[in-house]
Amino acid sequence: MIVPAVIPCGTCPACQAAKPTICRRQFMPGNDGDGGFATHVLVPSQGLCPVPTTLPDGLTLAMLSVVTDAVTTPYEAVRRSGLGPEDVAVVVGAGGVGGFGVQIAASLGAAVVAIDVDPLKLELASKHGAKLVLDARSTDLKGLRAAVRSFIKDSARQGIGLKIFEMSGTPAGQTTAYGLLDHGAYLAVVGFTPQAIELRLSNLMAFDATARGNWGCPPDQYPAALKFVLEGKVALAPFVEKHPLEEAPAILEAVAKHALRRRAILQPNQGKRMQ
């Protein structure tokens, strides 16, 4: 089983209106109850996502833990955007979330641009679906805009409006993503940072554009997201790293500093029950 990051109650008006991501009685393991830094954890029974007993080569149950949030949240953002084969997608931040975002967008047939400040992440993104990678350290916003515009032209896709996915969760990444808005563009706000940024809100009006966030992913979308992984459309192995549960404090600190290049998996009782 995969336990969703956010488990809606299923009965409130928001859930009944098919908007479970804004359920106010949702249960978020680790926030609303004891979390996953343990060998066992108690969770509600609804919304769990079944996993086949036999997994494809190269996948383990422990690895599938990143489907929760790291795969499903960009999946839901891409789904809401209506991305398809005629679209150009720009993923800002190709790290522990964006790396999966790039793969999901590419496997839907979109022409994908990845932007990051880490050459290794960009290399990984280009191996896994990005047709163009741009280093935001060496290219300013004007240069990024020009490169994306030229890419759109060359890609000859018929989709109307650029689809931008902010997955860095940093003020710089958000400023870049917002700065890429163009006529009819759609900006998915996926990454989180508590910091504010300065922007011209009227650009949404001037560009007839949309910015939309998603708080995780409804549990009923988990099986579809998992399918991308099981069918090999989204590779996990190059984007994750495993650590024993004992290392949790140091790993959490590294995550907070954006120092990890891959999504960390903490394994309790390593070598005993999980592999």
Residue 48 binds to a copy of itself (criterion: CB under 8 A): no
Residue 10 binds to a copy of itself (criterion: CB under 8 A): no
Eight-class DSSP state of 164? E
- C-alpha to C-alpha distance for 86 and 106, rounded to whole angstroms: 11
Contacts of 252 (CB under 8 A, 6+ apart): none
Count of residues for the chain?
275
Residue 161 binds to a copy of itself (criterion: CB under 8 A): yes
Pick one of 130, 189, 234, 235: the residue that binds a copy of itself (CB under 8 A): 189
Contacts of 140 (CB under 8 A, 6+ apart): none
Cβ proximity to a copy of itself, 96 vs 129, nearer residue? 96
Pick one of 212, 223, 238, 253: the residue that binds a copy of itself (CB under 8 A): 212
* Minimal distance, residue 40 CB to a copy of itself, in Å: 29
Which residue from 184, 180, 153 is spatially nearest to 165, judged by alpha carbons?
Answer: 180
Which residue from 118, 99, 117, 115 is spatially nearest to 107, judged by alpha carbons?
Answer: 99
3-state secondary structure (DSSP) of residue 228? helix
- Residue 44: how many other CB atoms lie within 10 Å: 17
Cβ proximity to a copy of itself, 215 vs 241, nearer residue? 215
Site for a copy of itself in 213-252 (CB under 8 A): 213-215
Residue 155 binds to a copy of itself (criterion: CB under 8 A): no
* Minimal distance, residue 235 CB to a copy of itself, in Å: 25
Strand partners, 166: 92, 189
Candidates 28-36, 63-71, 124-132, 202-210: pick the segment binding a copy of itself (CB under 8 A): 202-210
Q: Enumerate binding residues for a copy of itself (CB under 8 A).
A: 13-14, 17, 19, 21-22, 24, 158, 160-161, 166, 169, 174, 178, 183-184, 189-215
